[in-house]
Structure 1
Amino acid sequence: MASISGISLSSDLSSALASLDESTRFLKISIRDEQLVPDGSHSAKGRLPDDLPALESLLVDNVPAYVLARLDNGAGWLLIDYVPDGSRVRDKMLYASTRGALTRSLPSPPSDTLYATSKHDLSPTSYAAHLTHLNAPKPLSAREKEMEEVKAAERAAGFGNTRPSASPGAFGGSGVGLQWDNALEEAVKALGEADGEGVVTAAIEPGSEKLVYVEAADVSADELGSKVSSTDPSFAFFNYTSGSQPQVVFIYTCPSSSPIKHRMLYSAGAASVFSTAKSLLPPGRLASRKLETSDPSELSSKFFRDELGSGAESAAGSRSGSGTPGAGGGGFAKPRGPARRAR
């Protein structure tokens, strides 16, 4: 199965996955010559925590890789996504956009996923901390308590897990806070370091109010519409390089045919998504002008020129005050669609 990045499984990896048995503790998987290939393995010597030090020699500093680690007691597999901080930006993007295809190609979905940015993250002590965090009851933060109150109000109003925005098309204020998964955070950070045009798309996971990674792809502005859903609302981060300096532009797409509850949930969460992205990206990298469209097909180089002009003002340097389009972090900039009716 090929990924968005065009990377596919090699026949050697397919054979290695089919022949995995109880004696295998680790299977390292790397990307070479546009294919996922087996790149070393390690036999089980003891329990998983006892075997983790073997990854020190199996992995290479600053070179990303995936590792399938067999869990103890027949509990399945742990997928380790090893992307060191010192990796090349292109490699970070490549591994982020290929992860989904690898996961779908496994004999069964991984029981757990561990994201590592250094070998230290894969030590027995770090893995024990990961398990503790995974199994511990999650205390509600102030934001989560507020979200629970919002949900209660929504249920009382008959909106389920959604709430309307203050007014149609207005997205000022803090909105509904959304928890980001690790894969999305890493992909957006990598996009902020990229030189070429590319996109990272995200969606709200139904029922959990968690923002999850969908895909990352190297696309131009004219190809962007093909990477955004034409039926469901979504968020996209596009690295726009045709202005005075590269800028990551936040785009909220909301097809008019999508369910009203979904549209309200996305509109309520858009402001917090923009705020979180600003904190993840380097200062000045996120454009202050946030774009919205109901028709992803109109996303093009002309669309960005019309909306952003020759340059894009950074979020760090935006003006405060009113919600006038382009004047800071207020409402989303409404796209001027290709077909305009005279009024």
Structure 2
Amino acid sequence: MTQSGIQVSKELAELFSDAVSTGNYRLIRVSIDNESLVSSKTLEVNNSWNDDFVGVQESLEEKIPCYILYRLDTKSPSGDYEWIFLSYVPDDAKVRDKTLYASTRATLTKELGDYRFVDSMHGTAITEFSLKEYEKHKRHKNADAPLTQREKELAEVKAAEASASSYSTSARKSHVAGIAFPLSDEATAAVKSLNQSESDFNLVQLSLDVKNERIELDSTSKIDIDQLANTISSEAPRFSFFAYEHTHEGQDFRSTVFIYTCPTSSKIRERMLYSSCRGSVISYGESECGLTIAKKLETSDPNDLTKSYILEELHPPSEVAPKLAFSRPRPPGRRGGGPV
């Protein structure tokens, strides 16, 4: 399913971060409003999760799609409460709304942290979201065939992300959803150096050390913009910070660009972990390393990172200024989306 480009609002990210850290909220209803994912209703914990489940149906309206984030009473190995994701898209909703909600649900769970949701259920009628129907859904799910290799890999990802969430305190404080592996001292020093115009390099590539649960410095380079595509790894995911000195309309700029690259050949485990760490790496670069990030880009192919594309993203014509928090290249004649 092609994603819609709609993003999680700052307010929703903050609310969910607070809900995860305090455990006070039982339910958060999420709606699409003005091309953004926002909270449209919350319910606090009152009784047990199954007693409170009646609040799900009470939060649904005829013909109006929404998502429900519902907190269980069980906890992950890291001590955080587990959540389930419910998607309600009624058959008689407007066609445009049905399309938007169908194509945006993956974005919502990814931005908030896929690993936080232990189950999901989709339905088209309010009656499908009773406790009885959810328990039926769970019985059916548990009776399914043994896990495929892909499902085993996804289960490993959830376990790895849960163990990593012990590092997520700083991410919660800065309202960044996802997990937060710490940056090594070497990686931190390299990113900070990009603030200095006399630095020996203008490109810093970071990689994820899953075994040691840390973001490591992969490489530093001094390059021209035309060398960017060939310098960033095309074999494995990378977080890159590029300090781009250039002139536009007679004015000199030194613009720091964050680039998340994730080749389609990457393993599922890598793709999920890098995706979940992305927000915390950006936040760390800004709050701890003092960077001002002019643009955030992501792609599955470094060859998309051409000079013309980056200049267009940094200096878009005012009438077509981009709305996305993350931009994905769409060169003519190419198909396919960015990284998961």
The answer to whether the superposition gives a TM-score over 0.5 is: no
What TM-score do the two structures reach when normalised by structure 2? 0.44
What TM-score do the two structures reach when normalised by structure 1? 0.44
